[in-house]
Amino acid sequence: MSRATLMLIPLVLLSACGGGGASNTSSVPTTPTTPPGLAATSCGSYQGSLQGSTYAFLGIRYAAAPTGSRRWQAPQPVTCPTTVQQANTFGSKCPQLDTSTNAFVGDEDCLTLNVWAPTAAVGSNSARRPVFVFIHGGGNSLGSSSETLLAGVPTYRGDRLAAVANAVVVTVNYRIGPLGFLAHPLLDAETAQNSSGNYGILDLVAALRWVRDSIANFGGDPARVMVFGQSAGGQNTCMLLASPLAAGLFHEAAILSGGCPSRTRAQIDVATQSLSSKSGCANASNVLGCLRGKTAEELLRADPPVVQVSGSQTPWQPHVDRYVLRDAPIATFNAGGQNRVPVMVITTADETSRDISPSLTESQMLAIVNSQFGSLAPQVLAQYPLSQFGGSPWRTYTQITTDAKFVCPARVFSRALARTQQEPVFRALFAETIDSPNLSTFGAFHGAEILFVFDNLDIGGYQAPAAEQSLRNAIQAYFRDFATNKDPNSTSQITWTPYNATQDNYLTLEGGNVRMQAGLRTARCDFWEQVLPNL
């Protein structure tokens, strides 16, 4: 019989009792003991499983299934389980079309989260650990907290980060695509706020409330919660900074390779009208009933979302609804209306490199730039001459899109935050080229930093050189100290100074050469701010 099986066997408490006063034998009271890895919350008890030096609790529901009449509604409270839940399997992905096979995957019953906690933390009354809450990327139409790398290893594994940071790590599923961001006047009428859409952000708020109410039972400190996300997860972290609904639910934030753009309601209405038409619901007597009657797959097949790192975003994004978002995030930041917490902002040096074909020709690049930037194309091409990038159209277009979509927008919102709050902002550029043969040509690509944060460098048997291992240790230490003390400089690391707009200072994260620098692509970002003021 396995140890795990033994752990789940209920204790049987025996007591001896005398009969009729004829015996002097007295009962000896016994105290029930909690099985290792059992976390009892106010809404259910969960049995975790050992992963390294942590207990992993997978697939915990934080909200009711958003199905049937709950589709396109704010997340509702979950029915609390009455028996111990074996939390050893990830929950379903939220519905999406697989980018490789175009197969429909996932289930609308997907509002789950996962927790990794050091073994000594679970069931202990000792000092509470800081909490990391991670939001996955995928353009708000793809991805999940259970994404995997080679050999089925979870991309966002929490066991190693939890162990090295002595922290509790949480990863979250949230609604994506049209199921997460569609808005409609009939849906407005169903709410007291007269607003609809932004369900994915409402899900994240609900997950943070679950963390506030339950994470102490896993050894976490609800007063030290750091939210961070990568790509669309970084964008959604920005939405949480801007949303009044998230006030007080987190205490630090980190935006990795994510901007702060939001849509207008008019833009979401156009996307909703397109989906209604393509799904055959536009002329229905009850448009909302027709849309709710479609399966998730039918909705996605009718108008498949397209996710491009280097190109435009799918229309299903957070929008200003005057409830979840009172204004565009950058306007909120400029007015000082954000949730004021310390913030880390990290971009990579070559964000879009893996999204662009290395065989891109000069004529193809010129056609794309002309199509993408229209009358601004000549100025863009003058700012990024091929000669600066070894004559490579691929490298040239990589830098155009990396700057326009990631590096320069990060400067805009970093400046706004730094100007309107006392809490520090820390800016960084991840510049490491991973030494793996199948990755080294892409430079510091979009998502590369996640391999270091979650310590997945050994994936597929890769043997990271000493410089990369040192960089991993440095990144994890910065994250650990930031979550623990609101300051990434609590150890003997290279000092990461708070962002100053005048200096435009930033930390370069590169193996064997972590260093502070000033002026991150200043001329290029000045250019983008001039030609695209709403960057």
Query: What confidence tier does 72 reach under pLDDT thresholds 50, 70, 90?
Result: very high
The whole-angstrom separation of Cα 308 and Cα 314 is 8
How large a percentage of the chain has pLDDT more than 70? 94
**Mean pLDDT across the stretch 144-172?**
95
- Considering the domain architecture, whether residues 251 and 319 belong to the same structural domain is answered as yes
How large a percentage of the chain has pLDDT more than 90? 88
User: Which one of 146, 195, 196, 231 is the catalytic residue?
Assistant: 231
Which H or E run contains 115?
A: strand 112-118
DSSP symbols for 1-41: --HHHHHHSPP-------STT------------PPTTEEEE
Beta-strand (E) ranges in 266-397?
A: 343-348
- Considering the domain architecture, whether residues 346 and 286 belong to the same structural domain is answered as no
Evaluate whether residue 529 is within a structural domain.
Answer: yes
Evaluate whether residue 423 is within a structural domain.
Answer: yes
Coil vs helix vs strand at 202: helix
Evaluate whether residue 510 is within a structural domain.
Answer: yes
- Residue 436 annotated to the active site: no
Check residue 475 and give its pLDDT: 98
pLDDT tens digit sequence for 78-125: 999 999 999 999 999 999 999 999 999 999 999 999 999 999 999 877
- Considering the domain architecture, whether residues 167 and 214 belong to the same structural domain is answered as yes
- Considering the domain architecture, whether residues 267 and 194 belong to the same structural domain is answered as yes
Domain count, the chain: 2
DSSP classification of residue 56: E
Q: Which two tokens stand for residue 183?
A: 């808005």
Evaluate whether residue 377 is within a structural domain.
Answer: no
pLDDT tens digit sequence for 191-201: 999 999 999 99
Indicate whether 1 pLDDT > 60.
no
**Mean pLDDT across the stretch 236-244?**
98
Q: Which two tokens stand for residue 375?
A: 């009358």
Query: What confidence tier does 376 reach under pLDDT thresholds 50, 70, 90?
Result: very high
- Considering the domain architecture, whether residues 346 and 218 belong to the same structural domain is answered as no
The whole-angstrom separation of Cα 45 and Cα 43 is 7
Evaluate whether residue 358 is within a structural domain.
Answer: no
| Positive/negative CA dihedral, 413, 416, 421, 424 | positive
| CB neighbours of residue 459 within 10 Å | 16
- Considering the domain architecture, whether residues 298 and 412 belong to the same structural domain is answered as no
Check residue 501 and give its pLDDT: 96
- 77 with 64: CB under 8 angstroms? yes
Closest Cα partner for 12 from 39, 36, 30? 30
Check residue 233 and give its pLDDT: 98
- Considering the domain architecture, whether residues 309 and 346 belong to the same structural domain is answered as no
Indicate whether 14 pLDDT > 90.
no
Closest Cα partner for 296 from 469, 96, 522? 96
Check residue 492 and give its pLDDT: 79
- Considering the domain architecture, whether residues 186 and 258 belong to the same structural domain is answered as yes
- 246 with 339: CB under 8 angstroms? yes
Query: What confidence tier does 7 reach under pLDDT thresholds 50, 70, 90?
Result: very low
How far, in Å, are 181, 312, 378, 386, 525 from residue 370 at the CA level? 30, 14, 8, 15, 20
Q: What is the CATH number of the domain that holds 264?
A: 3.40.50.1820
| Positive/negative CA dihedral, 441, 445, 447, 448 | positive
**Mean pLDDT across the stretch 230-235?**
98
pLDDT tens digit sequence for 41-50: 999 999 999 9
> Does residue 411 come out as left (phi exceeding 0), alpha (psi in the -120 to 50 range) or beta?
alpha
Kindly tell me the number of DSSP H helices and DSSP E strands found in the chain. 17, 16
Residue 88's identity, in one-letter code, is N
Check residue 123 and give its pLDDT: 82
Q: Which two tokens stand for residue 448?
A: 């590369």
Indicate whether 534 pLDDT > 90.
no
Check residue 164 and give its pLDDT: 97
Q: How far apart are the first and last CA of the chain?
A: 60
Q: Which two tokens stand for residue 35?
A: 């099985």
Indicate whether 222 pLDDT > 90.
yes
The whole-angstrom separation of Cα 369 and Cα 377 is 6
Indicate whether 6 pLDDT > 70.
no
Evaluate whether residue 366 is within a structural domain.
Answer: no
Indicate whether 27 pLDDT > 70.
no
| Owner of token pair 């995928």 | 138
Evaluate whether residue 405 is within a structural domain.
Answer: yes
pTM: 0.93
| 490, burial (CB in 10 Å: exposed 0-12, middle 13-18, buried 19+) | middle
Query: What confidence tier does 347 reach under pLDDT thresholds 50, 70, 90?
Result: very high
How far, in Å, are 100, 180, 287, 297, 502 from residue 304 at the CA level? 14, 14, 19, 10, 44
**Mean pLDDT across the stretch 366-390?**
96
How far, in Å, are 69, 332, 342, 469, 516 from residue 474 at the CA level? 48, 33, 19, 9, 14
- 514 with 508: CB under 8 angstroms? yes
Check residue 17 and give its pLDDT: 32
| Owner of token pair 């569609």 | 182
Containing domain of residue 507, as a range? 342-350+400-535
**Mean pLDDT across the stretch 52-64?**
97
Lowest mean pLDDT among 20-34, 128-142, 269-283, 326-340: 20-34
- Considering the domain architecture, whether residues 300 and 408 belong to the same structural domain is answered as no
Check residue 415 and give its pLDDT: 98
- 197 with 181: CB under 8 angstroms? yes
The whole-angstrom separation of Cα 207 and Cα 112 is 8
Closest Cα partner for 208 from 135, 156, 261, 140? 135
Query: What confidence tier does 33 reach under pLDDT thresholds 50, 70, 90?
Result: low
The whole-angstrom separation of Cα 134 and Cα 137 is 10
- 307 with 142: CB under 8 angstroms? yes
pLDDT tens digit sequence for 173-212: 999 999 999 999 999 999 999 999 999 999 999 999 999 9
Which H or E run contains 254?
A: strand 252-256
Coil vs helix vs strand at 80: coil
Label each residue of 424-448 as H, E or C.
CEEEEEECCCCCCCCCHHHCCECCH
- Considering the domain architecture, whether residues 122 and 165 belong to the same structural domain is answered as yes
Evaluate whether residue 365 is within a structural domain.
Answer: no
- Considering the domain architecture, whether residues 289 and 430 belong to the same structural domain is answered as no
| Owner of token pair 């002595």 | 166
- Considering the domain architecture, whether residues 272 and 346 belong to the same structural domain is answered as no
Check residue 13 and give its pLDDT: 25
Check residue 20 and give its pLDDT: 39
